[in-house]
Amino acid sequence: MQTKMNDFEEIRPLTILITGGSSGIGYQAVLKLLSLGHNIILPCRNLLRANKILSSFVNIPSSYLSNKGNIYTPIMDLSDLNSIDLFCSELKKSRFKIDVLILNAGLQYTGSKEPRLSTQGIELTFAVNHLSHFYLTQNVLPLLNISKESKIIITSSEVHNPMSSGGKVGAKASLGNLMGLEGGSGFEMIDGNRFNADKAYKDSKLCNILFGKELCKKLIQKKLYIPVITWAPGLVISRNSEGFFRYSRQYNRLGQILFAFLARDLLRISTSNKKAGLLLTKLVCDYQYNKLGFNYYSNRVISPGKFIFEKTNISNEAEKEGLGKRLWELSEQIINQQAG
């Protein structure tokens, strides 16, 4: 799918809540959505980050943001469930109605030998990529404005599938029987095994798929007919210090440079933040993605430098009966333990 800057349908101004909108794919999507006149709620992990984002818009040509929507940058740290509580309380007091919820933030620290922990002592990849988004969604669902433009969009990855090109490399995604989650927050891996940073990321992306499927079922049970979209942007490699691999670079800078050169410049199997951000914008704005139910789309490489964005099958494990339901139950259990 070729996406042009002006290739978007005109719809009424939407209020869009997006996580992970201060860098990478999310930031590029925010820029485009603002230029189309949509209003953005972009939570940032601290005041310094929020001020940096707001100041970045000063240098954008006024012609690009001629139909500029409004942007609101409250504080929310996805590594702290208490911070999510405070953010949601503020959101409810402000009486916001949200048209589109985008769960886009993602963290990977491949190369680390030891797990990093959230404020609540939960392995950080699982905490940020899945659990915090799970918790945030529960809190903001009452604020969703149900209309023909309403959507919930979750950024996942092809690596959730061991049969995909990226999923085949290194440790494979698999949640096993969720043994690691059974005991609450003190776990290294979801499947109960020893920590592996690469697998932790792949497993979290599998959680995104399972969460999206189960969320869709629960919305239908409540007679809330909102499309739930999970999507894979493809391999995205930035040419600056921002973007997805900014944490992994801390552990293997030379390896990351060589990998980027090979994948981006030699084999041309990666895409840019800007192009992936435009795909995310299309998911928000285009009616072709308003199909009710659960759908998964992937930006797949078909030849060097060429991609196709289309509906794709999820992995065999993501199709496993009852796994999403059990993940939901254990996620609730962990959160309730923290609240208690």
CATH number at residue 171: 3.40.50.720
Can you tell me the distance from the alpha carbon of 150 to that of 168, in angstroms, rounded to the nearest whole number?
35
CA distances from 229 to 30, 237, 251 (A): 18, 23, 32
Exposed/middle/buried for residue 257 (C-beta within 10 Å: 0-12, 13-18, 19+): exposed
Q: Do residues 5 and 278 touch, judged by C-beta distance below 8 A?
A: yes
Per-residue pLDDT tens digits for 36-61: 999 999 999 999 999 998 888 777 76
Average pLDDT score over residue span 191-207: 96
Residue 295: phi, psi to the nearest 5?
Answer: -140, 145
Residue 269 lies in a domain: yes
The alpha carbon of 320 is separated from its chain's Cα centroid by a whole number of angstroms, namely 22
- Predicted pLDDT of residue 302: 77
Q: Is the pLDDT of residue 132 over 90?
A: yes
The Cβ of residue 272 has, within 10 Å, a number of other Cβ atoms equal to 17
**pLDDT tens digits, one per residue of 158-197:** 999 999 988 998 899 999 999 999 987 778 999 999 999 9
Asked if the model's pLDDT at residue 69 lies above 50, the reply is: yes
Judge whether 105 and 133 are in contact, CB under 8 Å: yes
pLDDT (mean) for 309-327: 97
Is 98 among the domain residues? yes
Backbone angles phi, psi at 314, to 5 degrees: -85, 170
pTM across the whole model: 0.91
| pLDDT value of position 22 | 93
Query: What total of structural domains would you count in the chain?
Result: 1
Is 9 contained in some domain? no
Q: Domain residues for 86?
A: 15-339
Between 185 and 329, the higher pLDDT residue: 329
- List, for residues 96-124, the tens digit of each pLDDT value: 899 999 999 999 988 889 999 999 999 99
User: Confidence class of residue 204 from pLDDT cuts 50, 70 and 90?
Assistant: very high
**For 160, phi and psi rounded to 5 degrees?**
-65, -20
Query: So what's the pLDDT on residue 183?
Result: 81
Residues 116 and 247: their CA atoms lie apart, in Å, by 12
DSSP single-letter state for residue 257: H
Residue 10 falls inside a structural domain: no
Q: Is residue 222 part of a domain?
A: yes
Residue 8 counted as domain residue:
no
- In this structure, is residue 250 part of a structural domain? yes
pLDDT band for position 24 (cuts 50, 70, 90): very high
Is pLDDT larger for residue 9 or for residue 296?
296
The pLDDT value recorded for residue 12 is 87
Which percentage of the chain shows pLDDT scores above 90? 70
Average the pLDDT over 8-20 and give the result.
89
Which residues on neighbouring strands pair with residue 18, listed in sequence order?
Answer: 102
**Side-by-side strand order, sheet with 306-311:** 71-72, 39-41, 15-18, 100-103, 151-155, 228-232, 294-303, 306-311
**Angstrom distances, CA of residue 99 to CA of 17, 18, 55, 136, 226:** 8, 11, 26, 15, 10
What integer pLDDT is reported at residue 244 of this predicted model? 47
pLDDT at 5: 43
**Which pLDDT does position 77 carry in this prediction?**
98
- Give the tens place of pLDDT for each residue, 229-281: 999 998 887 765 554 444 555 555 666 667 566 666 665 657 889 999 999 99
* Residue 1 in domain: no
Mean pLDDT over the full length of the chain: 88
Is residue 20 over pLDDT 80? yes
